[in-house]
Structure 1
């Protein structure tokens, strides 16, 4: 009886202290929110894996993942607004290039996956080992590549083969051309892979720009509620381009995305003290 009472007291104490820490410590909120995020993704991966086994490597499995996980944003206090929906929902094969700021990017993708419909992602090989998420991602048809310098040619060969498959099936391929995620308030230089693929397959580049995560600071351990604008720009044709045009295509795309990034970030920051009108087209 005594031990039971101690357990009950401990449980009650924890239940009382968590809200207190959540309200008073931004560091506690930061770690708790990411714990909730990763926990929900992990649990949903376990739930969905048996169903994914009935249609392995089908990119439509990501729609299941989206429906199970998109509510995480609401829990974390994040509101996503999509612009340029008409470009994203078009049934065509393309290479989506998007800026990469944080692990939170996947939450924005979950929010818009029903619009993209058939879409898969190029991911670093290390994610494959993060089970059960890695296994679920593999069953969803994600393309894992080894980006080490020693294996650049192998990665490019794998991506070229994947590009031919998505062209045939009219699948969108999401790529983060910056390679490494950086929440520094700017879009960093791109790697050539995505543009090399698009030109080789003669399919369009579809730029997707995610406004700055002003509410996230990994050094200060802050993850506050925030608004994010996702802007899909008109597709950029690669028809008639050759591999000699990769450099120019890459730079012109980055410049275009950077202009949108600056404008959307400025807009979203102006609404920090005023709710963002998510109905705005």
Structure 2
């Protein structure tokens, strides 16, 4: 009986307060990630099949259901650019930890998708363990020599495993709209591998999720997969121009597909 009273009280407080609703919904998201990660890690350990991108399939399926809980709708354009067996580097703008809900809309484990993240993510409990067991790629931001070695290893894996490697080129979350300057690591990987870059743009979350104003509500996000950008024949000397070209094209799509920015209180 007490549980039902507490549940009704929480729902009432969420109804009258956007701030409480924000923290309850985000807390539910973090809890869901923890549960999904734990189940994923246990399943991989039981089946004894570590370090395979196919292990992501339960996590991808489970995360895909959360959009119904939050009332988030995804409109995806250009998905066909990723629905093949060809290796590539997938660049995605990074707005929030909630980006995972959008990624699963384009993530198909049978095409050997994986993701690149900072090494510190490995130590985030069951989430880090699950990512490691599912063959996510971790780079050391603070040790340049080690990072270069790790990127060279990624280049080898891209061809041997025919990977589609997802990277957030901004390097960190950006809650302020548009896009931060791009790091060059993903472009070095693409050029060294001589595989195409597929830019993917998520429209702004601002009208439905805003950390500063404590907004977390239903809405629609437009995901646009742009045509592959070839890197065949390019060298490291072409990378600065490549970075500017890809970033400008992604910003243009972001501006065209995003709703007007929510005004701050």
For the superposition of Structure 1 and Structure 2, which TM-score range results when normalised by the shorter chain?
over 0.9
Separation (CA, whole Å) in 2 of partners of 1:261 and 1:76: 22
Partner of 1:278: none
Give yes or no for the alignment of 1:11 onto 2:3.
yes
Provide TM-score, normalisation by structure 1: 0.88
Give yes or no for the alignment of 1:250 onto 2:243.
yes
Separation (CA, whole Å) in 2 of partners of 1:75 and 1:233: 29
Residues 214-249 of structure 1: CA deviation (Å, up to 9, x unaligned): 222111211111210111101000111111001000
> What SS does the corresponding residue of 2:107 show, helix, strand or coil?
helix
Query: Structure 1 stretches (4+) deviating beyond 6 angstroms?
Result: none
Separation (CA, whole Å) in 1 of partners of 2:17 and 2:173: 26
Note the aligned Cα RMSD (angstroms): 1.8
Give yes or no for the alignment of 1:209 onto 2:204.
no
Q: How many residues align?
A: 259
Structure 2: state its 5+ residue gaps: none
Partner of 1:123: 117
Alignment of 1:76-91 (within 5 A): 76-91=70-85
Structure 1: state its 5+ residue gaps: 1-7, 273-281
Residues 13 and 50 (structure 1), Cα distance of their counterparts in 2 relative to 1, 3 Å cut: closer
> What SS does the corresponding residue of 1:112 show, helix, strand or coil?
coil
2:191–2:235 Cα contact (<8 Å) kept:
yes
Q: Which has the larger radius of gyration?
A: 1
Residues 151-193 of structure 1: CA deviation (Å, up to 9, x unaligned): 1231122022112112222110001110011121201210110
| Displacement after TM superposition at 1:115 (Å) | 7.5
1:89–1:115 Cα contact (<8 Å) kept:
no
Partner of 1:260: 253
| Displacement after TM superposition at 1:82 (Å) | 1.2
2:88–2:197 Cα contact (<8 Å) kept:
yes
> What SS does the corresponding residue of 2:13 show, helix, strand or coil?
helix
